[in-house]
Protein backbone atom coordinates (compact mmCIF):
# COMPACT_ATOMS: atom_id res chain seq x y z
CA UNK A 1 0.00 0.00 0.00
CA UNK A 2 2.85 2.38 0.87
CA UNK A 3 4.48 1.69 -2.50
CA UNK A 4 1.20 2.51 -4.32
CA UNK A 5 0.80 5.82 -2.46
CA UNK A 6 4.42 6.79 -3.11
CA UNK A 7 4.19 5.89 -6.79
CA UNK A 8 0.91 7.81 -7.22
CA UNK A 9 2.42 10.97 -5.68
CA UNK A 10 5.41 10.88 -8.04
CA UNK A 11 3.09 10.02 -10.92
CA UNK A 12 0.96 13.13 -10.28
CA UNK A 13 4.08 15.34 -10.33
CA UNK A 14 5.31 13.67 -13.50
CA UNK A 15 1.94 14.10 -15.25
CA UNK A 16 1.92 17.80 -14.35
CA UNK A 17 5.45 18.20 -15.80
CA UNK A 18 4.61 16.36 -19.03
CA UNK A 19 1.33 18.19 -19.54
CA UNK A 20 2.88 21.62 -18.98
CA UNK A 21 5.40 20.69 -21.68
CA UNK A 22 2.59 19.64 -24.03
CA UNK A 23 0.64 22.85 -23.41
CA UNK A 24 3.79 24.92 -24.04
CA UNK A 25 4.19 23.09 -27.34
CA UNK A 26 0.55 23.83 -28.14
CA UNK A 27 0.93 27.54 -27.33
CA UNK A 28 4.12 27.90 -29.42
CA UNK A 29 2.25 26.32 -32.34
CA UNK A 30 -0.34 29.11 -32.08
CA UNK A 31 -3.00 26.85 -30.50
CA UNK A 32 -3.12 24.78 -33.68
CA UNK A 33 -3.66 21.08 -32.91
CA UNK A 34 -2.55 19.97 -36.36
CA UNK A 35 0.77 21.81 -36.14
CA UNK A 36 1.21 20.57 -32.56
CA UNK A 37 0.75 16.99 -33.70
CA UNK A 38 3.70 17.41 -36.09
CA UNK A 39 5.87 18.42 -33.14
CA UNK A 40 4.84 15.62 -30.76
CA UNK A 41 7.25 13.03 -32.13
CA UNK A 42 10.24 15.37 -32.09
CA UNK A 43 9.69 17.21 -28.82
CA UNK A 44 7.61 14.94 -26.59
CA UNK A 45 7.51 11.22 -27.33
CA UNK A 46 11.24 10.96 -28.00
CA UNK A 47 12.57 12.91 -25.05
CA UNK A 48 15.32 11.03 -23.22
CA UNK A 49 13.59 11.11 -19.85
CA UNK A 50 10.49 9.46 -21.35
CA UNK A 51 12.49 6.25 -21.82
CA UNK A 52 12.77 5.88 -18.03
CA UNK A 53 9.00 6.08 -17.94
CA UNK A 54 8.62 3.41 -20.63
CA UNK A 55 10.97 1.02 -18.73
CA UNK A 56 9.01 1.75 -15.56
CA UNK A 57 5.90 0.12 -17.07
CA UNK A 58 7.58 -3.29 -16.69
CA UNK A 59 8.20 -2.73 -13.00
CA UNK A 60 4.66 -1.41 -12.42
CA UNK A 61 3.33 -4.69 -13.81
CA UNK A 62 5.69 -6.66 -11.55
CA UNK A 63 4.62 -4.53 -8.56
CA UNK A 64 1.21 -6.15 -8.82
CA UNK A 65 2.91 -9.23 -7.40
CA UNK A 66 5.79 -7.81 -5.33
CA UNK A 67 5.75 -4.35 -3.67
CA UNK A 68 9.51 -3.91 -4.09
CA UNK A 69 9.08 -3.43 -7.83
CA UNK A 70 6.76 -0.50 -7.09
CA UNK A 71 9.69 1.28 -5.46
CA UNK A 72 11.90 0.60 -8.49
CA UNK A 73 9.19 2.02 -10.77
CA UNK A 74 8.97 5.06 -8.45
CA UNK A 75 12.75 5.55 -8.67
CA UNK A 76 12.69 5.45 -12.49
CA UNK A 77 9.79 7.91 -12.56
CA UNK A 78 11.61 10.18 -10.11
CA UNK A 79 14.66 10.25 -12.42
CA UNK A 80 12.36 11.27 -15.28
CA UNK A 81 10.72 13.95 -13.15
CA UNK A 82 13.92 15.66 -12.00
CA UNK A 83 15.23 15.91 -15.59
CA UNK A 84 14.81 19.60 -16.48
CA UNK A 85 13.13 20.92 -19.60
CA UNK A 86 14.95 23.90 -21.14
CA UNK A 87 12.58 26.31 -22.85
CA UNK A 88 13.47 29.07 -25.32
CA UNK A 89 10.08 30.65 -24.65
CA UNK A 90 8.30 29.67 -21.45
CA UNK A 91 4.59 29.00 -21.15
CA UNK A 92 2.54 32.18 -20.82
CA UNK A 93 -0.30 31.61 -18.38
CA UNK A 94 -2.94 33.47 -20.37
CA UNK A 95 -6.61 33.19 -19.47
CA UNK A 96 -7.07 30.69 -22.28
CA UNK A 97 -4.24 28.51 -20.96
CA UNK A 98 -5.66 28.65 -17.43
CA UNK A 99 -9.06 27.50 -18.73
CA UNK A 100 -7.37 24.72 -20.69
CA UNK A 101 -5.39 23.55 -17.65
CA UNK A 102 -8.53 23.54 -15.48
CA UNK A 103 -10.48 21.38 -17.95
CA UNK A 104 -7.51 19.08 -18.46
CA UNK A 105 -7.09 18.64 -14.69
CA UNK A 106 -10.65 17.39 -14.40
CA UNK A 107 -10.11 14.92 -17.26
CA UNK A 108 -6.84 13.62 -15.76
CA UNK A 109 -7.27 13.62 -12.00
CA UNK A 110 -10.87 12.45 -11.56
CA UNK A 111 -10.05 9.08 -13.20
CA UNK A 112 -6.79 8.95 -11.18
CA UNK A 113 -8.67 9.33 -7.90
CA UNK A 114 -11.24 6.72 -8.90
CA UNK A 115 -8.49 4.31 -9.98
CA UNK A 116 -6.17 5.03 -7.05
CA UNK A 117 -5.55 1.34 -6.33
CA UNK A 118 -5.20 0.41 -10.01
CA UNK A 119 -1.71 1.79 -10.35
CA UNK A 120 -1.11 0.34 -13.83
CA UNK A 121 -4.16 2.22 -15.17
CA UNK A 122 -2.94 5.50 -13.67
CA UNK A 123 0.61 4.92 -14.86
CA UNK A 124 -0.55 4.46 -18.45
CA UNK A 125 -2.44 7.80 -18.32
CA UNK A 126 0.80 9.57 -19.28
CA UNK A 127 0.65 7.99 -22.74
CA UNK A 128 -2.81 9.48 -23.26
CA UNK A 129 -1.92 13.07 -22.32
CA UNK A 130 -1.95 14.23 -25.99
CA UNK A 131 -5.50 12.87 -26.23
CA UNK A 132 -6.38 14.76 -23.03
CA UNK A 133 -5.12 17.95 -24.70
CA UNK A 134 -7.40 17.33 -27.68
CA UNK A 135 -10.42 16.51 -25.48
CA UNK A 136 -9.90 19.60 -23.31
CA UNK A 137 -9.79 21.77 -26.44
CA UNK A 138 -13.00 20.23 -27.78
CA UNK A 139 -14.75 20.81 -24.46
CA UNK A 140 -13.52 24.41 -24.25
CA UNK A 141 -14.13 25.19 -27.93
CA UNK A 142 -17.65 26.70 -27.59
CA UNK A 143 -16.49 28.90 -24.69
CA UNK A 144 -13.36 30.02 -26.58
CA UNK A 145 -15.44 30.97 -29.63
CA UNK A 146 -17.80 33.08 -27.52
CA UNK A 147 -14.84 34.82 -25.89
CA UNK A 148 -13.17 35.46 -29.27
CA UNK A 149 -16.34 36.97 -30.70
CA UNK A 150 -16.77 39.18 -27.64
CA UNK A 151 -13.22 40.60 -27.86
CA UNK A 152 -13.50 40.99 -31.64
CA UNK A 153 -16.78 42.94 -31.44
CA UNK A 154 -15.40 45.08 -28.62
CA UNK A 155 -12.26 45.89 -30.67
CA UNK A 156 -14.24 46.71 -33.84
CA UNK A 157 -16.59 48.99 -31.89
CA UNK A 158 -13.66 50.79 -30.27
CA UNK A 159 -11.62 51.31 -33.44
CA UNK A 160 -14.66 52.42 -35.47
CA UNK A 161 -15.22 55.28 -33.03
CA UNK A 162 -11.72 56.61 -33.65
CA UNK A 163 -12.49 58.36 -36.94
CA UNK A 164 -9.22 60.33 -37.08
CA UNK A 165 -7.03 57.25 -36.51
CA UNK A 166 -4.85 56.30 -39.49
CA UNK A 167 -4.47 52.52 -39.77
CA UNK A 168 -1.58 50.75 -41.50
CA UNK A 169 -1.75 46.98 -42.05
CA UNK A 170 1.26 44.88 -43.05
CA UNK A 171 1.43 41.31 -44.29
CA UNK A 172 3.86 39.11 -46.19
CA UNK A 173 5.44 35.69 -46.10
CA UNK A 174 8.38 37.37 -44.38
CA UNK A 175 9.58 40.87 -43.53
CA UNK A 176 6.33 42.05 -41.95
CA UNK A 177 7.51 42.32 -38.33
CA UNK A 178 10.76 44.12 -39.21
CA UNK A 179 8.90 46.49 -41.56
CA UNK A 180 6.32 47.17 -38.86
CA UNK A 181 9.07 47.96 -36.34
CA UNK A 182 10.90 50.31 -38.73
CA UNK A 183 7.71 52.19 -39.70
CA UNK A 184 6.74 52.57 -36.04
CA UNK A 185 10.15 53.91 -34.99
CA UNK A 186 10.10 56.50 -37.78
CA UNK A 187 6.51 57.66 -37.19
CA UNK A 188 6.98 57.74 -33.40
CA UNK A 189 9.54 60.52 -33.84
CA UNK A 190 6.62 62.90 -34.52
CA UNK A 191 3.27 61.17 -34.00
CA UNK A 192 1.59 59.09 -31.27
CA UNK A 193 1.97 55.66 -32.84
CA UNK A 194 0.96 52.21 -31.61
CA UNK A 195 2.04 48.89 -33.12
CA UNK A 196 0.90 45.36 -32.41
CA UNK A 197 3.54 43.85 -30.09
CA UNK A 198 5.95 41.08 -31.13
CA UNK A 199 4.14 38.78 -33.57
CA UNK A 200 0.57 39.55 -32.44
CA UNK A 201 -0.75 39.06 -35.95
CA UNK A 202 -3.95 37.04 -35.50
CA UNK A 203 -7.53 38.23 -35.05
CA UNK A 204 -7.25 37.62 -31.30
CA UNK A 205 -3.85 39.33 -31.10
CA UNK A 206 -5.13 42.44 -32.91
CA UNK A 207 -8.30 42.51 -30.80
CA UNK A 208 -6.34 42.31 -27.54
CA UNK A 209 -3.97 45.09 -28.66
CA UNK A 210 -6.87 47.37 -29.60
CA UNK A 211 -8.84 46.65 -26.44
CA UNK A 212 -5.90 46.96 -24.03
CA UNK A 213 -3.46 49.44 -25.59
CA UNK A 214 -5.16 51.67 -28.16
CA UNK A 215 -5.84 55.09 -26.60
CA UNK A 216 -8.09 57.88 -27.94
CA UNK A 217 -4.96 60.05 -28.34
CA UNK A 218 -3.27 57.56 -30.70
CA UNK A 219 -2.80 59.03 -34.18
CA UNK A 220 -1.44 56.02 -36.11
CA UNK A 221 -1.99 52.30 -35.55
CA UNK A 222 0.43 49.89 -37.27
CA UNK A 223 -0.84 46.31 -37.31
CA UNK A 224 0.72 43.10 -38.55
CA UNK A 225 -1.53 40.47 -40.16
CA UNK A 226 -0.36 36.87 -40.46
CA UNK A 227 -2.08 33.68 -41.57
CA UNK A 228 -1.73 29.94 -41.97
CA UNK A 229 -4.87 29.55 -44.10
CA UNK A 230 -6.68 31.42 -46.89
CA UNK A 231 -9.41 33.70 -45.49
CA UNK A 232 -7.78 34.69 -42.19
CA UNK A 233 -6.31 38.00 -43.42
CA UNK A 234 -9.56 38.94 -45.15
CA UNK A 235 -11.41 38.60 -41.83
CA UNK A 236 -8.90 40.89 -40.09
CA UNK A 237 -8.85 43.41 -42.93
CA UNK A 238 -12.63 43.70 -43.10
CA UNK A 239 -12.86 43.94 -39.32
CA UNK A 240 -10.29 46.73 -38.81
CA UNK A 241 -10.33 48.38 -42.28
CA UNK A 242 -6.80 49.77 -42.78
CA UNK A 243 -6.22 52.98 -44.73
CA UNK A 244 -2.89 51.69 -46.02
CA UNK A 245 -2.04 48.04 -46.75
CA UNK A 246 1.50 46.74 -47.35
CA UNK A 247 2.59 43.39 -48.82
CA UNK A 248 6.31 42.84 -48.15
CA UNK A 249 7.04 39.46 -49.74
CA UNK A 250 5.34 36.33 -51.06
CA UNK A 251 7.26 33.08 -50.95
CA UNK A 252 7.33 29.46 -49.83
CA UNK A 253 6.50 29.97 -46.17
CA UNK A 254 4.08 27.77 -44.17
CA UNK A 255 3.72 25.48 -47.16
CA UNK A 256 2.49 22.68 -44.88
CA UNK A 257 -0.79 24.57 -44.45
CA UNK A 258 -1.06 26.70 -47.62
CA UNK A 259 0.03 23.87 -49.98
CA UNK A 260 0.89 26.23 -52.88
CA UNK A 261 2.40 29.67 -53.56
CA UNK A 262 -0.82 30.54 -55.41
CA UNK A 263 -2.77 30.11 -52.16
CA UNK A 264 -0.18 32.18 -50.29
CA UNK A 265 -0.51 35.03 -52.82
CA UNK A 266 -4.30 34.87 -52.59
CA UNK A 267 -4.12 35.01 -48.78
CA UNK A 268 -1.71 37.96 -48.69
CA UNK A 269 -3.68 40.05 -51.20
CA UNK A 270 -6.75 39.66 -48.97
CA UNK A 271 -5.25 42.59 -47.03
CA UNK A 272 -6.53 44.85 -49.85
CA UNK A 273 -10.10 43.50 -49.59
CA UNK A 274 -11.32 46.35 -47.40
CA UNK A 275 -9.50 49.20 -49.15
CA UNK A 276 -11.82 51.69 -50.85
CA UNK A 277 -10.88 53.95 -53.78
CA UNK A 278 -9.06 56.34 -51.45
CA UNK A 279 -7.04 53.61 -49.74
CA UNK A 280 -3.38 52.95 -50.52
CA UNK A 281 -1.77 49.64 -51.42
CA UNK A 282 2.03 49.33 -51.18
CA UNK A 283 3.72 46.46 -53.01
CA UNK A 284 7.24 45.07 -53.23
CA UNK A 285 7.80 44.84 -56.98
CA UNK A 286 11.06 42.93 -56.66
CA UNK A 287 8.86 39.96 -55.76
CA UNK A 288 7.65 38.17 -58.90
CA UNK A 289 4.57 36.69 -57.20
CA UNK A 290 3.42 40.19 -56.16
CA UNK A 291 4.33 41.68 -59.52
CA UNK A 292 2.46 39.03 -61.53
CA UNK A 293 -0.63 38.77 -59.32
CA UNK A 294 -3.96 39.65 -60.99
CA UNK A 295 -4.87 43.04 -59.49
CA UNK A 296 -8.04 43.62 -61.54
CA UNK A 297 -10.30 43.16 -58.50
CA UNK A 298 -8.43 45.66 -56.32
CA UNK A 299 -10.63 48.73 -55.84
CA UNK A 300 -8.09 51.35 -54.74
CA UNK A 301 -6.70 53.80 -57.29
CA UNK A 302 -3.55 54.39 -55.28
CA UNK A 303 -0.95 51.62 -55.68
CA UNK A 304 2.64 52.41 -54.69
CA UNK A 305 5.48 50.08 -55.67
CA UNK A 306 9.02 49.75 -54.37
CA UNK A 307 12.03 47.47 -54.78
CA UNK A 308 15.78 47.30 -54.97
CA UNK A 309 15.70 46.76 -58.73
CA UNK A 310 12.25 47.99 -59.78
CA UNK A 311 9.25 50.00 -58.58
CA UNK A 312 8.22 53.64 -58.23
CA UNK A 313 10.70 53.88 -55.37
CA UNK A 314 13.96 51.98 -55.85
CA UNK A 315 17.59 52.14 -54.79
CA UNK A 316 21.02 52.52 -56.31
CA UNK A 317 24.60 52.44 -54.99
CA UNK A 318 23.92 49.61 -52.52
CA UNK A 319 27.03 48.85 -50.44
CA UNK A 320 27.47 46.49 -47.45
CA UNK A 321 30.42 48.08 -45.67
CA UNK A 322 31.61 46.14 -42.62
CA UNK A 323 28.78 46.33 -40.09
CA UNK A 324 26.64 48.93 -41.89
CA UNK A 325 24.76 49.39 -45.16
CA UNK A 326 24.59 52.45 -47.44
CA UNK A 327 22.39 53.13 -50.46
CA UNK A 328 20.54 55.88 -52.35
CA UNK A 329 16.75 56.15 -52.73
CA UNK A 330 15.31 57.21 -56.10
CA UNK A 331 11.74 58.05 -57.13
CA UNK A 332 11.66 56.94 -60.74
CA UNK A 333 14.78 58.72 -62.11
CA UNK A 334 14.90 61.42 -59.45
CA UNK A 335 17.41 61.17 -56.59
CA UNK A 336 15.73 61.51 -53.18
CA UNK A 337 18.42 60.92 -50.51
CA UNK A 338 21.32 58.79 -49.27
CA UNK A 339 20.79 56.31 -46.44
CA UNK A 340 23.20 54.80 -43.89
CA UNK A 341 21.96 52.08 -41.53
CA UNK A 342 23.20 49.44 -39.08
CA UNK A 343 20.71 46.95 -40.52
CA UNK A 344 22.29 44.23 -42.64
CA UNK A 345 21.04 42.31 -45.65
CA UNK A 346 19.00 43.11 -48.76
CA UNK A 347 15.77 42.23 -46.98
CA UNK A 348 16.37 45.01 -44.44
CA UNK A 349 17.07 47.44 -47.29
CA UNK A 350 13.67 46.47 -48.73
CA UNK A 351 12.05 46.96 -45.31
CA UNK A 352 13.49 50.49 -45.06
CA UNK A 353 12.30 51.25 -48.58
CA UNK A 354 8.83 49.93 -47.69
CA UNK A 355 8.82 52.33 -44.75
CA UNK A 356 9.81 55.28 -46.96
CA UNK A 357 7.12 54.40 -49.52
CA UNK A 358 4.61 54.24 -46.67
CA UNK A 359 5.56 57.78 -45.65
CA UNK A 360 4.79 58.96 -49.18
CA UNK A 361 1.37 57.28 -48.99
CA UNK A 362 0.73 58.83 -45.56
CA UNK A 363 1.01 62.30 -47.08
CA UNK A 364 -2.48 61.69 -48.48
CA UNK A 365 -3.62 61.67 -44.84
CA UNK A 366 -1.67 64.85 -43.99
CA UNK A 367 1.01 62.93 -42.11
CA UNK A 368 4.52 64.17 -42.95
CA UNK A 369 8.03 63.05 -41.99
CA UNK A 370 10.81 65.05 -43.65
CA UNK A 371 13.77 63.33 -45.30
CA UNK A 372 16.28 64.52 -42.71
CA UNK A 373 14.26 62.99 -39.87
CA UNK A 374 13.90 59.77 -41.85
CA UNK A 375 17.69 59.58 -42.35
CA UNK A 376 18.44 60.22 -38.66
CA UNK A 377 15.95 57.64 -37.37
CA UNK A 378 17.03 54.95 -39.86
CA UNK A 379 20.68 55.51 -38.91
CA UNK A 380 19.83 54.68 -35.26
CA UNK A 381 17.55 51.69 -35.84
CA UNK A 382 18.78 48.38 -34.42
CA UNK A 383 17.63 45.02 -35.81
CA UNK A 384 14.63 43.26 -34.31
CA UNK A 385 15.82 40.39 -32.11
CA UNK A 386 16.60 37.16 -34.05
CA UNK A 387 16.19 38.94 -37.42
CA UNK A 388 19.82 39.16 -38.53
CA UNK A 389 20.77 41.00 -35.37
CA UNK A 390 24.52 41.33 -34.76
CA UNK A 391 26.59 41.11 -31.61
CA UNK A 392 30.24 40.58 -30.70
CA UNK A 393 31.39 38.20 -27.97
CA UNK A 394 35.16 38.52 -27.99
CA UNK A 395 36.47 37.00 -31.21
CA UNK A 396 33.01 35.63 -32.04
CA UNK A 397 30.91 37.79 -34.38
CA UNK A 398 27.39 36.40 -34.12
CA UNK A 399 24.70 37.05 -36.73
CA UNK A 400 21.42 35.88 -35.24
CA UNK A 401 18.85 35.27 -37.96
CA UNK A 402 17.05 32.54 -36.05
CA UNK A 403 13.47 33.72 -36.45
CA UNK A 404 11.36 32.11 -39.18
CA UNK A 405 13.94 31.23 -41.81
CA UNK A 406 13.02 31.50 -45.48
CA UNK A 407 14.98 31.08 -48.69
CA UNK A 408 15.27 34.82 -49.44
CA UNK A 409 16.34 35.69 -45.89
CA UNK A 410 18.73 32.75 -45.90
CA UNK A 411 20.45 33.98 -49.06
CA UNK A 412 20.56 37.58 -47.85
CA UNK A 413 22.08 36.60 -44.49
CA UNK A 414 24.63 34.38 -46.24
CA UNK A 415 25.55 37.30 -48.54
CA UNK A 416 26.27 39.45 -45.47
CA UNK A 417 28.55 36.72 -44.04
CA UNK A 418 30.36 36.38 -47.37
CA UNK A 419 31.55 39.99 -47.05
CA UNK A 420 33.07 39.54 -43.58
CA UNK A 421 36.71 38.83 -42.78
CA UNK A 422 37.61 35.71 -40.84
CA UNK A 423 36.17 32.21 -40.58
CA UNK A 424 32.53 31.72 -41.60
CA UNK A 425 30.38 29.15 -39.79
CA UNK A 426 26.67 28.41 -40.08
CA UNK A 427 24.37 26.63 -37.60
CA UNK A 428 21.05 25.64 -39.15
CA UNK A 429 18.37 22.95 -39.29
CA UNK A 430 17.58 24.09 -42.83
CA UNK A 431 14.15 25.45 -43.74
CA UNK A 432 11.66 23.31 -41.87
CA UNK A 433 8.26 24.43 -43.13
CA UNK A 434 8.62 23.91 -46.87
CA UNK A 435 5.80 21.37 -47.20
CA UNK A 436 6.01 19.51 -50.51
CA UNK A 437 8.80 21.91 -51.62
CA UNK A 438 11.00 20.96 -48.65
CA UNK A 439 13.40 18.94 -50.82
CA UNK A 440 14.00 21.58 -53.51
CA UNK A 441 14.25 24.50 -51.05
CA UNK A 442 16.88 22.79 -48.90
CA UNK A 443 18.81 21.58 -51.94
CA UNK A 444 19.03 25.22 -53.05
CA UNK A 445 20.29 26.53 -49.71
CA UNK A 446 22.82 23.68 -49.53
CA UNK A 447 24.41 25.08 -52.69
CA UNK A 448 24.55 28.55 -51.10
CA UNK A 449 26.30 27.13 -48.03
CA UNK A 450 28.92 25.33 -50.11
CA UNK A 451 29.94 28.60 -51.80
CA UNK A 452 30.17 30.74 -48.67
CA UNK A 453 30.81 28.86 -45.42
CA UNK A 454 34.01 27.29 -44.13
CA UNK A 455 32.16 25.08 -41.65
CA UNK A 456 28.58 23.80 -41.68
CA UNK A 457 26.82 22.67 -38.48
CA UNK A 458 23.41 21.08 -39.06
CA UNK A 459 20.67 20.47 -36.50
CA UNK A 460 19.22 17.03 -37.11
CA UNK A 461 15.74 16.85 -38.68
CA UNK A 462 14.11 15.90 -41.98
CA UNK A 463 15.13 19.16 -43.72
CA UNK A 464 18.76 19.07 -42.64
CA UNK A 465 19.03 15.49 -43.89
CA UNK A 466 18.34 16.84 -47.39
CA UNK A 467 21.21 19.31 -46.98
CA UNK A 468 23.45 16.62 -45.52
CA UNK A 469 22.93 14.40 -48.57
CA UNK A 470 23.88 17.22 -50.96
CA UNK A 471 27.01 17.98 -48.93
CA UNK A 472 27.91 14.30 -48.81
CA UNK A 473 27.53 13.95 -52.59
CA UNK A 474 29.75 17.01 -53.09
CA UNK A 475 32.27 15.62 -50.55
CA UNK A 476 31.84 18.72 -48.35
CA UNK A 477 32.56 18.24 -44.65
CA UNK A 478 29.77 18.96 -42.18
CA UNK A 479 28.76 18.09 -38.63
CA UNK A 480 25.27 17.20 -37.46
CA UNK A 481 23.93 17.75 -33.93
CA UNK A 482 20.77 17.03 -31.99
CA UNK A 483 20.43 20.62 -30.71
CA UNK A 484 21.61 24.18 -31.27
CA UNK A 485 23.26 24.20 -27.85
CA UNK A 486 25.39 21.16 -28.69
CA UNK A 487 26.55 22.73 -31.97
CA UNK A 488 27.30 26.11 -30.38
CA UNK A 489 29.33 24.61 -27.52
CA UNK A 490 31.34 22.59 -30.04
CA UNK A 491 32.35 25.80 -31.84
CA UNK A 492 33.28 27.51 -28.56
CA UNK A 493 35.46 24.60 -27.44
CA UNK A 494 37.14 24.32 -30.85
CA UNK A 495 38.18 27.97 -31.09
CA UNK A 496 38.59 28.95 -27.44
CA UNK A 497 42.30 29.72 -27.95
CA UNK A 498 42.16 31.06 -31.48
CA UNK A 499 43.05 34.64 -32.47
CA UNK A 500 41.03 34.35 -35.68
CA UNK A 501 37.71 36.21 -36.12
CA UNK A 502 34.91 33.64 -36.05
CA UNK A 503 31.72 34.71 -37.86
CA UNK A 504 28.73 32.58 -36.83
CA UNK A 505 25.40 32.72 -38.65
CA UNK A 506 22.50 31.22 -36.69
CA UNK A 507 19.89 30.56 -39.34
CA UNK A 508 16.74 28.66 -38.36
CA UNK A 509 13.10 28.72 -37.28
CA UNK A 510 13.40 29.43 -33.56
CA UNK A 511 10.05 30.44 -32.04
CA UNK A 512 7.67 28.89 -34.60
CA UNK A 513 9.14 25.42 -34.86
CA UNK A 514 11.63 24.87 -32.08
CA UNK A 515 10.43 24.48 -28.53
CA UNK A 516 13.89 24.35 -27.06
CA UNK A 517 17.55 24.74 -27.94
Q: What percent of the chain has pLDDT over 70?
A: 84
Q: Give the pLDDT score at 514.
A: 44
Query: By percentage, how much of the chain surpasses pLDDT 90?
Result: 45
What pLDDT sits at residue 516?
Answer: 46
Ramachandran area for residue 231 (φ above 0: left; ψ -120 to 50: alpha; else beta): left
In the sheet where 334-341 sits, what is the strand order? 193-195, 220-224, 166-171, 244-247, 280-284, 302-307, 313-321, 324-331, 334-341
Distance in angstroms (rounded) separating the CA atoms of residues 268 and 310: 20
Cβ-based neighbours of 152, under 8 Å, separated by 6 or more: 203, 204, 207, 239
What helix, strand, coil percent values describe the chain, rounded to 5? Answer: 50, 15, 30
Strand pairing class (324-331; 313-321)? antiparallel
Q: Which residues lie across from 193 on neighbouring strands?
A: 220
Q: What is the pLDDT of residue 493?
A: 87
Q: What is the mean pLDDT of residues 387-392?
A: 80
Residue 129 contacts residue 182 (beta carbons within 8 Å): no
Neighbours of 224 (CB within 10 A): 27
| pLDDT score at 4 | 63
Residue 259 has pLDDT above 80, yes or no: no
Among residues 326, 317, 356, the alpha carbon closest in space to that of 344 is found at 326
Pick 501 or 71 by higher pLDDT: 501
Q: State the average pLDDT over residues 185-191.
A: 95
Q: How far apart are CA 354 and CA 282, in angstroms?
A: 8
Q: CA geometry: angle at 234 spanning 202 and 433, to 5°?
A: 55
The string of pLDDT tens digits covering residues 191-223 is 999 999 977 889 999 999 999 999 999 999 999
What's the pLDDT tens digit per position in 24-68? 888 887 787 877 776 676 666 555 556 666 676 676 677 667 666
pLDDT score for 402: 79
Average pLDDT over residues 349-365: 96
Is the predicted pLDDT of residue 16 greater than 90, yes or no? no
DSSP 8-class letter at 107: H
Contacts of 219 (CB under 8 A, 6+ apart): 164, 165, 166, 191, 192, 193, 367
pLDDT tier for residue 413 given thresholds of 50, 70 and 90: confident
Q: What band does 71 get if pLDDT is binned at 50, 70 and 90?
A: low
Average pLDDT over residues 71-85: 66
- In the DSSP assignment, the letter for residue 363 is G
| Domain 162-380 bears CATH identifier 3.40.1190.10 | yes
Domain parsing of the chain, residue ranges: 2-142, 162-380, 389-507
What confidence score (pLDDT) does residue 22 get?
86
- State residue 251's pLDDT score: 82
Rounded average pLDDT over 293-310 = 90
Q: Is the pLDDT of residue 513 over 50?
A: no
Farthest-apart Cα atoms in the chain, separation: 89
Average pLDDT value for residue range 257-272: 87
pLDDT, mean over the chain: 85
- Give tens-digit pLDDT for 434-486: 666 778 888 888 999 999 999 999 988 888 889 999 999 989 999 999 888 88
Measured distance CA(313)–CA(270) in Å, rounded: 23
Contacts with 150 (C-beta within 8 Å, 6 or more apart), sequence order: none
Superfamily of domain 389-507: Mur ligase, C-terminal domain (3.90.190.20)
Q: For position 419, what pLDDT does the model report? A: 82
Average pLDDT over residues 224-234: 89
pLDDT above 60 for 1: no
pLDDT one-digit tens code per residue, 396-408: 888 888 776 677 7
With 90 as the cut, is the pLDDT of residue 69 above it?
no
Mean pLDDT of 260-268: 89
Angle between helices 407-418 and 346-362 (to 10 degrees): 120
Amino acid sequence: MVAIIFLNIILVLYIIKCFIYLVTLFQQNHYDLKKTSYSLGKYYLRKTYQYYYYVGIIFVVLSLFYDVFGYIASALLLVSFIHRNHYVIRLKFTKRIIRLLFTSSLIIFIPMILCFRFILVNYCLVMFLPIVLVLANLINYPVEQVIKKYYKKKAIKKIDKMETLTKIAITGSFGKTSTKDIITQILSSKYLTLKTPASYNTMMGLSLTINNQLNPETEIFVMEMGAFFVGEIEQMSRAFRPNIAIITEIGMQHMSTFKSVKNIAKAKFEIASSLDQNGCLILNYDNEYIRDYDKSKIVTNHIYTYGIERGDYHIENLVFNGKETTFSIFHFDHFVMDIKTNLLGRHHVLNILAAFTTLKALERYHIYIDNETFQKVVAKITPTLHRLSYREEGMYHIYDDSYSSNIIGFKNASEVLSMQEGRKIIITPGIVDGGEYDQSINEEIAKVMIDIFDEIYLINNKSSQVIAQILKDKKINYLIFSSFKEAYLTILSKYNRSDEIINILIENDLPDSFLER
